[in-house]
Amino acid sequence: MENLYETDYTQWLGQQRELLAKGQFDQLDIPNLLEAMDIQMGNIADELGSHLIILLVHLLKYDYQKRVLKDPWVKDKVIHTWMPSINNSRTQIGRHIQKNPCLQPKVNDLLAEVYPHAKNDAIKQMNKYIRSEASRLNKDSFPEQCPWPFEQITDDDWLPGD
């Protein structure tokens, strides 16, 4: 059974499900079942973290454009292109928490964990379009910690600076 876990995970999982359904607990591959459960629990949090990063990157860029750059061209031509990503991320975050309510108590810790990654991504993405070295963003361009609470960033009616 252990070999099947390593060679055909889906078949192994089906086999374990069948053993559980039949009550054949003594035949279960307990060590690998525990490992698979740990991995799955981590995957659930990682998926939420990925959606949070995408949302935060766009909110950080939006905020920087509105607060610092104040470029009318960007306001008219670029910011609206971020809205589908912002809206989709919020939808996916809501759906993910609805499907996995065990994540709700962990959202603030997860937000704090992923914020540095989102900040770094936002800096890289913004710097692709900045030609002047003096104008390039750095780690001090954004707050060290997420400036907004989870409830605010997931509010469909909220955008930074509006």
Task: Give how many domains the chain has, as a whole number.
Answer: 1
Reported as a pLDDT band with limits 50, 70 and 90, residue 134 is confident
For residue 30, being part of any structural domain is answered with no
pLDDT tens, residue by residue, 11-45: 999 999 999 999 999 999 999 999 999 888 888 89
Residue 74's pLDDT is what?
65
Give the Å distances, CA to CA, from 158 to 9, 43, 62, 154: 42, 28, 12, 8
- Rounded Cα distance between 146 and 130, Å, is 24
Residue 59 inside a domain? The answer is yes
CB under 8 Å, gap of 24 or more: what pairs does 129-138 form? 137/64
Tell me, yes or no, whether 100 lies in a domain.
yes
Q: Across all residues in the chain, what is the average pLDDT?
A: 91
Residue 129's pLDDT is what?
A: 80
Residue 99 lies in a domain: yes
Tell whether 7 is covered by a domain.
Answer: no
Distance CA 150, CA 148 (A): 7
What would the mean pLDDT of 79-104 be, rounded to a whole number?
93
69 falls within a domain: yes
Question: Looking up tokens 């079942």, which residue turns up?
Answer: 33
Residue 131 is part of which domain span? 48-153
For position 137, what pLDDT does the model report?
A: 92
Q: Does any domain span residue 52?
A: yes
CA distance 56 to 27: 46
The torsion angles phi and psi of 128, rounded to 5 degrees, stand at -60, -25
138 lies in some domain? yes
